[in-house]
Amino acid sequence: MSEQLFIEHYKNTDVEADNIIKAQRIAQDCLEYLKTFLRPGMTYEEIHEACKDRMLAKGAERFWTHEDPALILFGDLSTYSAHEAPDLKNMIVQENDFITVDVAPVMGNGWGDMARSYVMEKGKIIRYVDSDNQEIKEGLDFELYLHQEFIQFVNEETTFSGLHDYIEDLLKKHHCINLDYHGNFGHTIEKDPKDRVTIIHGEDRKISEYNKPITFEPHICRVNGRYGIKHENMYFFHEGKILEVL
């Protein structure tokens, strides 16, 4: 997607499109950096501090989600939602592990918001398609499928509630569950996080009419599964289509 198209789309609104692009680039850089940084024996605190230092070094001014640079979950705790996981401070990366990281840098009043899942096998971060773990492979395949369904499903008439219910039905058909403790699948990007509109049942505003960037971030798990899988991108609705910001 052209950055200029995104900036042009929001030029007559209160959305700080240029700062969102900058913040999202910082988020993307941090998550790419983690591919080479993560290793067995690392603590939650080490990864958290590395995310913070990397994003500040790249120009982030602050962090929007509870002023926390990164939400990090490991292995068996990856099925928890946000800050609800117990004993985060005692988490240590194992030789074979599964890690999710959700980062939230801010430039001006423009947020970045992006999440990725990492597969550690035999002490190295690998491509999920090369994993020996079938649950992880199938889960990440399904996560990417949900993003494609999101892009194809949304049109001029789609409401936040309608999108939520469609994705929820897909989860049920594929024997998966939504792990988000609020039950949503993403949210709008606002100057003030308290103003977010979420992809939740009962929110009947149309996505096209609201005209704000929107994240899509299903946090999912197979029924009776071990791993909570997450992949988040930012999108916007333009001329009848959902487009990815980066």
Give 88-133 pLDDT, tens digit per residue.
778 899 999 999 999 999 999 999 999 999 999 999 999 999 999 9
The CATH architecture annotation of domain 3-244 reads Alpha-Beta Complex (3.90)
Give the separation between CA 154 and CA 133, rounded to whole angstroms: 32
Q: What mean pLDDT do residues 63-82 have?
A: 87
Of 110, 98, 120, whose CA–CA distance to 27 is shortest? 110
Paired residues of 232 in beta bridges: 115
Give the separation between CA 119 and CA 100, rounded to whole angstroms: 9
In the chain, where the domains are located: 3-244
Does position 62 have pLDDT exceeding 90, yes or no?
A: yes
Give the separation between CA 23 and CA 108, rounded to whole angstroms: 9
| pLDDT 10s digits, 134-147 | 999 999 999 999 99
Q: What is the pLDDT of residue 66?
A: 72
Q: What is the pLDDT of residue 32?
A: 98
The string over 158-178, giving b where at least 16 C-beta atoms fall within 10 Å of a residue's C-beta and e elsewhere, is: bbbebbbeebbebbeeeebbb
**pLDDT bracket for residue 1 (50, 70, 90):** low
Q: What mean pLDDT do residues 61-69 have?
A: 86
| pLDDT 10s digits, 146-196 | 999 999 999 999 999 999 999 999 999 999 999 999 999 999 999 888 899
Give the separation between CA 216 and CA 88, rounded to whole angstroms: 25
Q: pTM of this prediction?
A: 0.96
| pLDDT 10s digits, 190-242 | 988 889 999 999 999 999 999 999 999 999 999 999 999 999 999 999 999 99
Find the range with the poorest average confidence among 32-36, 62-66, 122-126, 206-210: 62-66
